[in-house]
Amino acid sequence: MRVLGFMTGTSLDAVDMAVLDTDGETIAGFGPAGERKLSEPLRDLMLRATEVALKWGRGEPRPDIFDEAAVAGAEEHYVAGEAFLKANGLSWSDIDLIGMHGQTVLHERPKDGVVGRTVQLADGQWLADTTGVPVAFDFRTADVAAGGEGAPLAPVYHIARARASGMAPPLAVLNIGGVANVTFWFGGDDFAAFDTGPGNGMIDLLLQSRGAGRYDEMGRYASVGMVDEAVLNALLAHPYFSAPPPKSLDRYDFPLTPLEPLKLEDAAATLVAFTAEGVRRGFELAGADPSEVVVCGGGRHNPEIMKALAQRLSMPVRKAEDVGWRGDSIEAEAFAYLAARTARGLPISFPKTTGVPRPLPGGRIVRPSAS
């Protein structure tokens, strides 16, 4: 089937889109891919929804802003998809299924026997009714309800993408978004994954908190800063780094407070080192020794992050484009692939990726309402 995947990351930068021809097992073809920057009104609304979510107590009523933001997000996806399809000579009628991740405004991992919480805002029914195409969404809820971490979900796609490229295990795929996560492919259907630590998220929040822009473009600030080893060690003392996988993070799990005494350049350099050292410790914790690491996500555009990874890892570190992948589109492709798996009732999360007790299907599909 031809599936359009949508992804919006915690950076609140853009709607990423990609078309796959897939049955949820193999990939028959790669269609067009692209992005549309988020409008300022939607970005502001999602930021407000995130602020509300961070204060939302368990057992309290669902905040009204969630529904408002879910509809606004679906509208933004529609506008983005309409322009994207038209630019590529396609229409909604050419699409068999849509996979929409939605905007994450809250992610809490399970703790002390209490199930986690995860919220992705996306009105799948609105999008299905407006496009006339079935929509797969709500990919994480079933996993969390079963005691899983709810993340990462892309690993099963990483393996399919590697196979489609003729790549062989042992291999690692490292995604650096707001949070960094890694997939280890050991061979056959044996793979594991978890969040290693912060990705770009803390660096973005640092610059935004100091009025220096939304992100450190090309590592401009970090490149002229010095790593503060004392602050770095304090950050790395967080118990997350010694906790066994599977495990997951929210971009807000680490405060910026320890960085407050540092000038911006040194703080940015220290956070680059924090991201890279988190990855190195993740490899060490997993006992993994892949032959190479393929890096996707926005973090690969930051030369300082790529340099720090190369210094800390003992195997070659390659950008997604170096192996013929579309590095900015991997997660949109992944949710197209997961949508196809949802349609067929295939597992999307696994004991060694999210900690569920058995391979588990997930996601919900809504169809256009009868007119």
Average pLDDT across each block of 10 residues of the chain; the chain has 371 residues. List them in order: 95 94 98 97 96 96 98 98 98 98 96 94 97 98 97 97 97 96 96 96 96 96 98 97 94 94 98 98 94 96 98 98 96 98 98 97 95 53
* pLDDT in the model for residue 251: 82
Q: Same CATH topology for 2-152+328-366 and 166-323? A: yes
Question: How many other CB atoms are found less than 10 A from the CB of residue 112?
Answer: 4
According to CATH, what is the number of the domain 166-323?
Answer: 3.30.420.40
Number of Cα atoms under 13 Å in the Cβ half of residue 341: 26
Query: What pLDDT was estimated at residue 371?
Result: 53
| pLDDT at residue 314, as a whole number | 96
Q: What is the pLDDT of residue 22?
A: 98
Owner of token pair 């807000």: 252
Tally the residues of the chain. 371
User: Who contacts 312 (Cβ-Cβ below 8 Å, separation ≥6)?
Assistant: 276, 277, 279, 280
Is residue 65 within 8 A of residue 54, CB to CB? The reply is: no
- Report how far residue 123's alpha carbon sits from residue 86's, in angstroms, rounded to the nearest whole number: 23
Tokens encoding 260: 């407050």
Written as six digits, the tokens of 192 are 């594991």
Identify the CATH number of the domain defined by range 2-152+328-366: 3.30.420.40
Q: How does DSSP assign 304-332, residue by residue?
A: HHHHHHHHH-SS-EEEGGGGT--TTTHHH
List the chain domain ranges: 2-152+328-366, 166-323
The mean pLDDT value of the chain amounts to: 96
Q: Please, where are the H alpha helices in the chain?
A: 40-54, 64-87, 124-131, 141-145, 155-164, 201-209, 229-236, 264-286, 303-312, 330-344
DSSP one-letter string for 49-68: HHHHHHT--TTSPPPHHHHH
Q: What is the pLDDT of residue 10?
A: 84
The model's pTM is 0.96
Question: Under a CB-based contact definition with an 8 Å cutoff, are residues 6 and 18 in contact?
Answer: no
